[in-house]
């Protein structure tokens, strides 16, 4: 009960890529890069095991960004045709590549790193993939015309990828959909249908992660505009509760999300963000335990998985390490008291 896990990403060590930066360029190329990524992933798996995290990830050490790391291997995308795009409903502008033809996957994107990670741990292994809606909000479209159509094309590719990863021993496949918190009407119109397509036929645990973003300035400024209560989840959780996705990963610690909204997910496992992902400080285990106990007023302990609010790639390595230790220790404090 109260198995701990993390949203997905962890910081890259400074010898692998420039720290505390999104899309940080690699410090190696070719085979040397693969070996360096493997070393970084092995270290993070060990750190999570030592901390007492129950469901581990490889910290996304093999990808440059949670969306583009997947897209790099997909054909139908012109990486030289950059389009300025105000992503997450114009929260920040990024030069993104452009879809110029039908998208397809020539071979598995993540299979090698999953095999490597699976061989490094006996714990349950979670693997994250970008969700179809969030992909479509992080790439420009010069081919499909309708976002829902492009999402369905990506969902089919994601499904083929997910099936291969499941066959290689992944226990949980999570789709990251921060865009679900921005385009709530689209979630109900086609977002969940696209997720269902991405999960089709999977027998492993499936999850969707929906957050208010990394602990970076652009997001922190956006959060300041959201008012005293953040009620975005209220619009989409009823539809998600009725969906075929097994788990929902949400932001809780230090946020203005009313805790009662977790009560809308009464048929799902809930991954409760119990540490913040900002660089400012490391919560102590008692504080983490208090967050978990507050969430337990709305989610049965059997369905509650203490987790991080979001990925931790942009924060300092040592801060993230402290946070996973506190997360596991806080979960253990609550477990021992039950």
Distance from C-alpha of 123 to C-alpha of 206, rounded to nearest angstrom: 17
180 burial (CB, 10 Å; 0-12 / 13-18 / 19+) is: buried
Given a contact cutoff of 8 angstroms between Cβ atoms, the answer to whether 150 and 144 are in contact is yes
Output the smallest distance, CB 201 to Zn ion, in A.
Answer: 26
Query: For residues 42 and 53, which CB has a smaller minimum distance to Zn ion in the complex?
Result: 53
Token pair listed for 32: 């040397």
Segment lying near Zn ion (by CB under 5 A), choices 190-198, 210-218, 227-235, 323-331: 210-218
Distance from C-alpha of 66 to C-alpha of 109, rounded to nearest angstrom: 13
Applying CB under 5 A, among 99, 103, 129, 211 the residue interacting with Zn ion is 211
Query: For residues 200 and 235, which CB has a smaller minimum distance to Zn ion in the complex?
Result: 235
Output the smallest distance, CB 314 to Zn ion, in A.
Answer: 11
Applying CB under 5 A, among 198, 208, 310, 321 the residue interacting with Zn ion is 310
DSSP sequence for 258-306: -GGGGGGGTTSEEEEEEE---SS----HHHHHHHHHHHTTTS-GGGEEE
Given a contact cutoff of 8 angstroms between Cβ atoms, the answer to whether 143 and 100 are in contact is yes
Query: For residues 154 and 214, which CB has a smaller minimum distance to Zn ion in the complex?
Result: 214
Considering only residues 60 through 119, tell me which ones interact with Zn ion, judged by CB under 5 A: none
3-state per-residue secondary structure call for 17-68: ECCCCCCCCECCCHHHHHHHHHHHHHHHHHHHHHHCCCEECCCCCCCCCCCH
Query: For residues 157 and 211, which CB has a smaller minimum distance to Zn ion in the complex?
Result: 211
Output the smallest distance, CB 213 to Zn ion, in A.
Answer: 6
Query: For residues 131 and 330, which CB has a smaller minimum distance to Zn ion in the complex?
Result: 131
The yes or no reply on residue 45 touching Zn ion (CB under 5 A) is: no
Residues 6+ apart with CB under 8 A from 218: 91, 92
The yes or no reply on residue 277 touching Zn ion (CB under 5 A) is: no
Segment lying near Zn ion (by CB under 5 A), choices 49-57, 120-128, 209-217, 296-304: 209-217
Output the smallest distance, CB 227 to Zn ion, in A.
Answer: 20
Q: Could you identify the residue written with the tokens 């959909």?
A: 177
Query: For residues 143 and 223, which CB has a smaller minimum distance to Zn ion in the complex?
Result: 223
Query: For residues 77 and 136, which CB has a smaller minimum distance to Zn ion in the complex?
Result: 136
Segment lying near Zn ion (by CB under 5 A), choices 129-137, 149-157, 197-205, 207-215: 207-215
Number of shown-chain residues binding Zn ion (CB under 5 A): 2
Distance from C-alpha of 28 to C-alpha of 57, rounded to nearest angstrom: 22
The binding site for Zn ion (CB under 5 A) comprises: 211, 310
């Amino acid at each position: 009960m109260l198995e701990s896990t993390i949203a997905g990403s962890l910081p890259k060590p400074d010898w692998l890529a420039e720290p505390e930066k999104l899309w940080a360029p690699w410090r190696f190329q070719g085979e040397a890069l693969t070996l360096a990524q493997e070393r970084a992933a092995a270290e993070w798996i060990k750190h999570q095991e030592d901390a007492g995290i129950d469901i581990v990830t490889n910290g996304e050490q093999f990808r440059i960004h949670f969306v583009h790391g997947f897209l790099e291997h997909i054909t139908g995308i012109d990486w030289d045709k950059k389009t300025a795009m105000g992503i997450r409903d114009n929260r920040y502008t990024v030069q993104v590549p452009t879809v110029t033809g039908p998208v397809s996957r020539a071979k598995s994107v993540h299979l090698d790193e999953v095999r490597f990670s699976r061989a490094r741990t006996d714990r349950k292994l979670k693997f994250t993939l970008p969700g179809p809606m969030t992909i479509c909000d992080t790439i420009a479209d010069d081919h499909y015309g309708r976002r829902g159509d492009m999402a369905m094309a990506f969902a089919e590719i994601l499904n083929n990828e997910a099936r291969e990863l499941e066959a290689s021993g992944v226990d949980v496949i999570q789709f990251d959909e921060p865009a679900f918190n921005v385009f709530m009407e689209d979630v109900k119109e086609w977002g969940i249908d696209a997720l269902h397509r991405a999960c089709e036929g999977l027998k492993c645990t499936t999850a969707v992660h929906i957050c208010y973003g990394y602990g970076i300035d652009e997001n922190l400024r956006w959060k300041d505009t959201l008012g005293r209560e953040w009620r975005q989840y209220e619009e989409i959780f009823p539809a998600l509760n009725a969906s075929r996705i097994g788990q929902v990963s949400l932001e809780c610690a230090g946020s203005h999300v009313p805790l009662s909204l977790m009560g809308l997910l009464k048929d799902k496992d809930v991954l409760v963000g119990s540490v913040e992902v900002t660089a400012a400080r490391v919560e102590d285990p008692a504080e983490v335990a208090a967050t978990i106990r507050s969430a337990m007023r709305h989610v049965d302990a059997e369905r509650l998985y203490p987790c991080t609010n979001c990925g931790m790639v942009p924060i300092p390595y040592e801060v993230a390490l402290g946070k996973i230790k506190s997360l596991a220790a806080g979960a253990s404090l609550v477990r021992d008291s039950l």
